[in-house]
Amino acid sequence: MTQLVIIGIYLSLLLFLGVFSSRLFKGTSKDYMLASHSIGPFLLLMSIFGTTMTAFALVGSSGEAYKEGVGVYGMLASSSGIIHSLCFFLLGIKLWSWGHKYGYTTQIQFFRERLESDRIGIILFPILVGLVIPYLLIGVMSSGVVISSITEGAFENSFAAYDYGVPPWLGSLVISLVVLIYVFFGGMRGTAWANTFQTIVFMILGVVTFFVISSKLGGLQAASHAVLERNPSKLMRAVDPKDRERYAEKYKTWTLIAKYNYATRILKTLKLTPEQKAEAYKAFKPRMPNWQNTAEAVYAADNNLYELTSEEVNKALLTQDDRVMPDPFPEKYQMGLMSHHELKEYPRKANAEKEKAMLIFGGKIGHPTHDLDPDDPSKGKKWTIKKALGVYRASNWAPDAPHPMSKLVFFTYFFVPLSVGMFPHLFQHWLTARSAGTFKLPVVAHPLFIMIVWVPCVLVGVWATSAMFNGSPLFPPHFPANAVLAAMVKKMTSPVLAGFLTAGILAAIMSSLDSQFLCIGTMFTEDIVVHYGGKDRFTDKQVVLMARMFIILVVAITYGFSLLEPRRVFTLGVWCFSGFSSLFPIIFAAVYWKRLTKAGAYAGVLVAIGSWLYLFKEAKYALNPNYTFLGMMPVATMVVASATAMILVSLITRPPSKETLVRFFPED
């Protein structure tokens, strides 16, 4: 409950800030959308940084480091330090100068004039809004997960289905409403102020979290040495032989369990006698909650008590891992055994883990502060549903195979941060700058700020792989990556600190949501309503009202998606960024290539979005987190394809008019 109160106070503070900044609101749509070009270097740095660092940076980076190791930093953070500032430097300043000179508020206004095409807006508007929605989704979804994880057991009788904490759908809803309210009142000025405040909050609290967690793990050195001992592959990008050996042993044991379960539960050709079971348990050292099953499986295998055909073994593996059984069963698996890699090609059955976990551990699930056995408190507390799911996954599913990071994937990740050049919300932030000189501080400090936020998050995620707590691993195998940071904060800090740290995580999330909310409202009014309705048809008050209404509509749609969305934050983020990156060649050419034509830009946009849709579908709509195309990140193909189409078509079509070229390239 303490955490909930602190989060409530923090959200109230934000609302106050939004309302206060509205007192400075000049009442014009320009002030609402661009803060009247009044933002100085510090506010610009904080608002740009706060906007680019979202749940992806805190929740996603720690979760991905937990899964993939320290290589995550080089893959995305250090490359972003180079590329983001490059985009601010090469694109931001030029676009700011044109925006200031010609009165642009949105990207589409710029493209319409630079490309001498009104209809480009009709294509770009749905694409940009469509790509912002998954970006919003990351924030909305993560905020619900974080609040839910941190408030487990906060209520005595309510929300039993959510471990007596705030349900994710409610957490996401509250965060969306709070951000909506302060964006409504404060507009761009409120957003810039709130971003600055929230960026300071999450940077300070992030560093505090890092040191609190490291001290709970016995200090920086002890935390890292535990990883070196138990999961050395997480400290590099190759696979350590020790991890490979451990995995081979675990997979072998898991195969025995799968076969034993299949023989006893599905075929019913084997049933151990009580004496055999007693002998099996006697020879086994208990480690996991479901250890008896493992002991029986090892005993049955050692004593050759059953025999299965290749087809039966393969079906046993698929059943044990909750995979969908292929129908008809492939011929090749009727004769030979499938590898772990081949096994993973079959998707897991939806909800299988929940149904089975409830069936097996239903009697142990309850309020996490209540004793499992009221007459014997030494047996511990009741299990949360999340714990039951975790124990089920850890004791039933195949162990994760260690895998090296591909050099080609690492290199082609470099294309992902190019997305910053096409983020519509960042374009709008650039235009708020008071002068070109305002950009100097963001350009220089951005890579350092990324380092301050990402290095601790990546280390915490890596430590989580090997951390022990009260004598047992802090996280069982297959623990959901998105919940790693929140779970560590909850388990390893006091309720008061956990409340503050959660506020810090929410700050990072909200500082991106607000800019995105404002940007989509701005695009709708400027690029659709005012553009097609006529500039003098609506009063400024009506324009602001329409922006607000459209924001509500998009937030409602995003919120609806968040109720269905199960994907990893990091994977979803990478797809969203890849879409924006695939449009990067168009904005870059628009700024630096005089020969870019209207037709060339259309070709680039259509190829970008066409290749994105195709590859996104191939990756099973982000459900496959390790999807690559030609061994590379899909974004590399999208960027090259869109650039090629744009260049070729531009070269064979009529160049832009002299008037347009003089307007945008006067120095030449």
Partner 1 sequence: MRYAVYGLVVVLIIIHQDNWLWDDKRLILGFMPITLLYQAGISMGAAFVWFLATKFAWPHHLEEIAQESPAQESPAQESGETE
The answer to whether 226 and 465 have CB atoms below 8 angstroms apart is no
Beta carbon of residue 224, minimum distance to partner 1 (angstroms, whole number): 4
Judged by beta carbon, residue 83 or residue 300, the one nearer partner 1 is 83
Taking CB under 8 A as the criterion, the residue among 210, 281, 410, 664 binding partner 1 is 410
Q: Which is nearer to partner 1, 94 or 381 (CB)?
A: 94
Which residue in the set 26, 100, 216, 491 belongs to the binding site for partner 1 (CB under 8 A)?
A: 100
Q: CB of 292: closest distance to partner 1 in angstroms?
A: 36
Q: Smallest distance, Å, CB 206 to partner 1?
A: 15
Cα separation, 222 vs 224, in Å, equals: 6
Residues contacting residue 420 through CB under 8 Å, at least 6 positions apart = 52, 80, 83, 84, 87, 88, 426, 580
Least gap, CB of 228 to partner 1 (angstroms)? 6
Stretch that binds partner 1, among 232-240, 277-285, 465-473, 575-583 (CB under 8 A): 232-240
Query: Looking only at residues 117 through 146 of this chain, which bind partner 1 when binding is defined by CB under 8 A?
Result: 117-119
CB 645 within 8 A of CB 611: no
Cis before 480? omega within 30: no
For the CB of residue 418, give the shortest distance to partner 1 in the complex, in Å: 12
Q: Which of residues 17-46 bind partner 1 (CB under 8 A)?
A: 37
Amino acid sitting at position 377: P
By beta-carbon proximity to partner 1, the closer residue of 535 and 617 is 535
Per-residue string for binding with partner 1, 523-562, x by CB under 8 A?
Answer: --------x--xx---------------------------
Contacts of 222 by beta carbon, 8 Å cutoff, 6+ apart? none
Contact 434, 40 (CB under 8 A): yes
Where do the H-state alpha helices sit in 23-106? Answer: 29-34, 41-52, 55, 61-68, 71-72, 79-87, 93-102
Say whether residue 101 binds partner 1 (CB under 8 A).
yes
| Minimum CB distance to partner 1, residue 85 (Å) | 5
The one among 93, 501, 609, 647 contacting partner 1 by CB under 8 A = 93
Taking the complex as a whole, the smallest distance from the CB of residue 136 to partner 1 amounts, in Å, to 27
In the numeric block, the tokens 């992902």 are attached to: 416
Residue with tokens 């990740």: 413
d(CA 264, CA 443): 64
The one among 66, 104, 185, 299 contacting partner 1 by CB under 8 A: 104
Interface stretch with partner 1, choices 93-101, 138-146, 306-314, 387-395 (CB under 8 A)? 93-101
Residue (116 or 355) nearer to partner 1, CB: 116
DSSP-assigned states of every residue in 437-487: GGGHHHHHHHHHHHHHHHHHHHHHHHHHTT-EETTEESS-TT--GGGHHHH
For residues 187 to 216, the per-residue mask of contacts with partner 1, x marking binding by CB under 8 A and - elsewhere, is ------------------------------
d(CA 422, CA 576): 12
Number of chain residues interacting with partner 1 (CB under 8 A): 69
State the burial class of residue 271 (Cβ atoms within 10 Å of its Cβ: 0-12, 13-18, 19+).
Answer: exposed
Q: Does 581 bind partner 1 (CB under 8 A)?
A: no
Binding test (CB under 8 A) with partner 1, winner from 224, 261, 624, 653:
224
Residue (446 or 568) nearer to partner 1, CB: 446
Site string for partner 1, 608-647 (x = CB under 8 A): ----------------------------------------
89 makes contact with partner 1 (CB under 8 A): yes
For residues 66 and 68, give the distance between their C-alpha atoms in angstroms, rounded to a whole number.
6
Task: Please give the DSSP secondary-structure letter assigned to residue 381.
Answer: B
Which residue from 635, 646, 644, 645 is spatially nearest to 580, judged by alpha carbons? 635
The answer for residues whose C-beta is within 8 angstroms of residue 480's C-beta and 6 or more apart is: 63
**E runs forming strands in 458-585:** 468-469, 472-473
**Per-residue x/- marks for partner 1, 237-276, CB under 8 A?**
xx-x------------------------------------
> Cβ atoms within 10 A of the Cβ of 662, count?
10
Token digits of residue 427: 């374009």
Residue 119 or 265 with smaller CB distance to partner 1 = 119
Question: In the bound complex, what is the minimum distance in angstroms from residue 394's beta carbon to partner 1?
Answer: 25
The least CB distance from residue 101 to partner 1, in Å, is 5
Rounded to a whole number, what is the distance in angstroms from the first to the last CA of the chain? 64
CB nearer partner 1, residue 377 or residue 404: 404
Q: Cα(105)–Cα(110) distance, rounded to whole angstroms? A: 8
Query: Which residue from 390, 346, 328, 396 is spatially nearest to 365, judged by alpha carbons?
Result: 390
Nearer Cβ to partner 1 (80/320):
80
Question: Which of 9, 160, 177, 236 is in the footprint of partner 1 by CB under 8 A?
Answer: 236
Binding mask 44-83 for partner 1 (x = CB under 8 A): --------------------------xx-xx--xxx-xx-
Q: Which of 456, 299, 230 is nearest to 291 (CA)?
A: 299
Q: Is 406 in the site for partner 1 (CB under 8 A)?
A: no
User: Which positions from 420 to 459 touch partner 1 by CB under 8 A, shown as an x/- string?
Assistant: ---------------xxx--x--xxxxxx-xx---x--xx
- Cβ distance to partner 1 smaller for residue 94 or 216: 94
Comparing CB distances to partner 1, the nearer of 390 and 424 is 424
> Could you give the C-alpha distances from 39 to 244, 436, 442, 544, in angstroms and in order?
53, 11, 12, 20
CA pair distance 579, 634, nearest whole angstrom: 10
Q: What residues line the site for partner 1 (CB under 8 A)?
A: 37, 70-71, 73-74, 77-79, 81-82, 85-86, 89, 93-94, 96-97, 100-104, 109, 112-113, 116-119, 219-221, 223-225, 228, 232-233, 235-238, 240, 405, 407, 410-411, 414, 435-437, 440, 443-448, 450-451, 455, 458-459, 462, 531, 534-535, 666-667
